[in-house]
Structure 1
Amino acid sequence: MPARRRLVLSELAEKAHRVVQSPEPAGLVEVAPNLFWSRIPLPGKLNHINVWLFRDDDGLTVVDSGMYNPAAEDAWRSVLAEFGGLPLKRVIATHLHIDHIGMAGWLMEQGASEFWMTRQEYLTCRLHAAQAEDESEVQAYCDFQRASGWPEQAIDGYGNNLRNRAASIYRFPKSYRRLEEGQELVLGGHRFRVVTGNGHSPEHACLYSEESRLLISGDQVLPGISSNISVMHAEPEANPMADWLSSLQKLKREIPADVLVLPAHQQCFEGLHARIDELADNQERALARLRQALKREPKRVVDLFEVLFGRDIGHDNLLIFSLATGETLACLNYLMNLAEVERVTGPDGVWQYRSLKA
């Protein structure tokens, strides 16, 4: 493995939130013995996904994969070549979002024999694939966004985007091996325990090594941004915000503060408990702003973006507009479950939310 492309960290981060040196695109950083960090490019503002590779005598294990596109293919070819022909054995997906599973099928075609995922994540992926072939699902999505207050121009564009979503996922594996809560896997000589959570996705898998003080956190805990927590059209009454906040507390109970956290985006960091507290506090402040805004007058979902996110969000970027809608609904459903807010449907079919507190 050429020295110019392989950086070895001689020790873990020394204090909370210290940023360790990240790899070059398609380069490698050895975070711990036989555990490598690389980055696969993503389109848009996120720019990359962090992926983790474990080297064993009989082959490589990959955790997460990126979104399918030519740049990601080129990056993976470069990364795999760095291991001098060691075969690819296993692909693990932390959860179902396309930046985590888009290249999984492609990697399986490079010779991997095992694809691992939790049951709810895998079955939901298969459901999404079926929905992509059902034109009535596009109408259901559009009706859902219309009720949230979307203008017709945005709804038309969103329907087209949904039809094209499948292009970001390579042929998805037709079978899998199940990850389960508490299950142990030995990867690169490190013993990891599966710790599941939800809110961001149905059954997100994190991997925790007590001996090596490592946590592969996927999107459950990120160092500088918050995981998107969204209500989706198929389950409009869901309360994923409560699920996510509960999952954060589960991580805090079960995993010590001094692990090195290996997230799906941005930098590796220490200070897990402090970051969890920060995320929970930020969310409570956002909910407090929402409570205050709904006391003044009823609001549509799209009227509340600036209250929650501190800026106006236009529909020129439909991905961001959609994520903002889903997260605003998650906050509103959370407050409705606390009997603090009610929803009424106007004569135009658009939902209006108002406070039940004086």
Structure 2
Amino acid sequence: MRDGIEETITEAPRPKLHYPFEHGPRPGEAIDVAPGVKWLRMPLGGSLAFINVWAIEEDGGWAIVDTGMGGSDTQQAWRKAFAESLGGRPVTRVFVTHMHPDHIGMAGWLTRKFQCRLWISRLEFLMCRSLAADTGREAPADALTFYKAAGWDEEALENYRAKFGGFGRGLHALPDSFQRMSDGDEITVGGRLWKVVVGSGHSPEHACLWCPELKLFISGDQVLPKISSNVSVFPTEPAGDPLTDWLTSLARIKTRVPDDVLVLPAHNDPFHGLHARIDHLIAGHERGLARLSELIAEPKRAVDVFHVLFRRKIDQWVLGMATGESIAHLNCLLSRGQATTVTDSDGVVWYRAAA
């Protein structure tokens, strides 16, 4: 459920994006990115190290966009930020782009601490609650069937059983209510108009925020400058086609949000060059689909295609994400009529290019 392993393999050079800031904020520090808008970072474990969060000044305090992973380290970082960078002023409301724990993990803590409302899209809120309810459950039979069909061996399935139900461990207890954000909504924050621009594929109803006056685009994980967000099929919807959703969303954002915005992403640094980055992301996935189509001239399982999609070796730590993203690409080929499947007597699915 986290961001991509690495950007999918691409032969094209990266677009020349412009990064206007020499460095990001240090712990407890906030950097002004526009009048009334501050950039902070919250710690994460793993290769990403941190998530960017944003504070928008408004009457009575700060509107916060994204919250960091639930846990004591993030609580300490927020307390330091309130004391040192945000003037001790309260949080007026909490906006969350989407349901992944590094974005929504501290929403419950912040909304209860400051008695304020969570703003989020409906599908993100409900999906987050559904996944959080799996905490402590045994891995369901449907999920084990799904990964066995992908080609996992018994050791990989056993690792999955042991790790299942961990989603909720990255969350402070969720708020019990929310204010819904929908695509096209116009919300006044800090005396300025912000427009909700929804994407999907990485998550079901990811809400970006665009301020035309300030020329800012808070992109969450929908557009990142250096990695391609994970777009995966999960056992809950094995025939899903999130990659088509993702590509369609990116193309739509390009038509709605102008190229002169400063993009405020969840990971890496703010940048200029939104349209070039979108073009690069779409083209990279299309090249991956073309390579995949060539590879499955002979039947392949989902676990047999990693090398044409990812730069790094796939080990047990990223096997789930790699499998989900590979199936997303394969399902996209199925939806385009470019592939077919056969399930063998062991329940393993084999993909082959359509004749």
| Structure-2 residue corresponding to 1:10 | none
| Structure-1 residue corresponding to 2:333 | 335
| Structure-2 residue corresponding to 1:119 | 122
Decide which of 135, 146, 151 is 1:132's aligned counterpart.
135
| Structure-2 residue corresponding to 1:155 | 157
| Structure-1 residue corresponding to 2:237 | 235
Cα distance in 1, alignment partners of residues 87 and 311 from structure 2: 48
| Structure-2 residue corresponding to 1:257 | 259
Q: 1:163 to 1:131 in 2, by over 3 A?
A: closer
User: Mapping of 1:39-188 within 5 angstroms?
Assistant: 39-81=41-83, 82-132=85-135, 134-135=137-138, 138-188=140-190
TM-score, length-normalised on structure 2?
Answer: 0.92
- Write out per-residue CA displacement over residues 70-106 of structure 1, whole angstroms, 9 at most, x where no aligned residue: 2111111111223222111111110011111111111
- Write out per-residue CA displacement over residues 100-136 of structure 1, whole angstroms, 9 at most, x where no aligned residue: 111111111221411110011111112212333653x
Decide which of 311, 322, 325 is 2:320's aligned counterpart.
322
| Structure-1 residue corresponding to 2:6 | none
- Write out per-residue CA displacement over residues 206-241 of structure 1, whole angstroms, 9 at most, x where no aligned residue: 001111111000011000000111111111111111
- Write out per-residue CA displacement over residues 291-345 of structure 1, whole angstroms, 9 at most, x where no aligned residue: 11111x2111111111111343122x1xx21111111010000000111111111
Cα distance in 2, alignment partners of residues 212 and 77 from structure 1: 28
Cα distance in 2, alignment partners of residues 334 and 35 from structure 1: 39
TM-superposed CA distance for 1:187, in Å, is: 2.0
Q: Is the 8 A contact 1:33 1:188 kept in 2?
A: no
| Structure-2 residue corresponding to 1:288 | 290
Cα distance in 1, alignment partners of residues 140 and 53 from structure 2: 32
* Range that drifts further, 68-77 or 274-283: 68-77
Cα distance in 2, alignment partners of residues 69 and 159 from structure 1: 24
| Structure-2 residue corresponding to 1:201 | 203
Q: Is the 8 A contact 1:239 1:334 kept in 2?
A: yes
Q: Secondary structure at the match of 2:133?
A: helix
Identical-pair percentage: 46
TM-superposed CA distance for 1:163, in Å, is: 2.6
Amino acid at match of 1:84: G
Q: Is the 8 A contact 1:67 1:169 kept in 2?
A: yes
* Range that drifts further, 83-92 or 192-201: 83-92
- Write out per-residue CA displacement over residues 8-58 of structure 1, whole angstroms, 9 at most, x where no aligned residue: xxxxxxx94325231113321110111110010111111111000112231
Decide which of 343, 352, 355 is 2:350's aligned counterpart.
352
| Structure-2 residue corresponding to 1:38 | 40
Q: Is the 8 A contact 2:28 2:81 kept in 1?
A: yes
Q: Is the 8 A contact 1:138 1:162 kept in 2?
A: no
Q: Is the 8 A contact 1:35 1:188 kept in 2?
A: no
Cα distance in 1, alignment partners of residues 114 and 149 from structure 2: 46
Amino acid at match of 1:300: R
Q: 1:84 to 1:310 in 2, by over 3 A?
A: closer
Cα distance in 2, alignment partners of residues 233 and 212 from structure 1: 41
User: Mapping of 1:21-32 within 5 angstroms?
Assistant: 21-32=23-34
Q: CA RMSD in A?
A: 1.5
- Write out per-residue CA displacement over residues 170-204 of structure 1, whole angstroms, 9 at most, x where no aligned residue: 10111100001111122233321001111111111
Amino acid at match of 2:299: P
Cα distance in 1, alignment partners of residues 314 and 133 from structure 2: 31
Q: Is the 8 A contact 1:91 1:104 kept in 2?
A: yes
Amino acid at match of 2:123: Q
Q: Secondary structure at the match of 2:194?
A: strand
User: Mapping of 1:305-320 within 5 angstroms?
Assistant: 305-315=306-316, 317=317, 320=318
Q: Secondary structure at the match of 2:283?
A: helix
Q: Is the 8 A contact 1:62 1:91 kept in 2?
A: yes
Q: Is the 8 A contact 1:305 1:311 kept in 2?
A: no
Cα distance in 2, alignment partners of residues 279 and 145 from structure 1: 27
Q: Secondary structure at the match of 2:309?
A: helix
Give the length in aligned residue pairs: 338
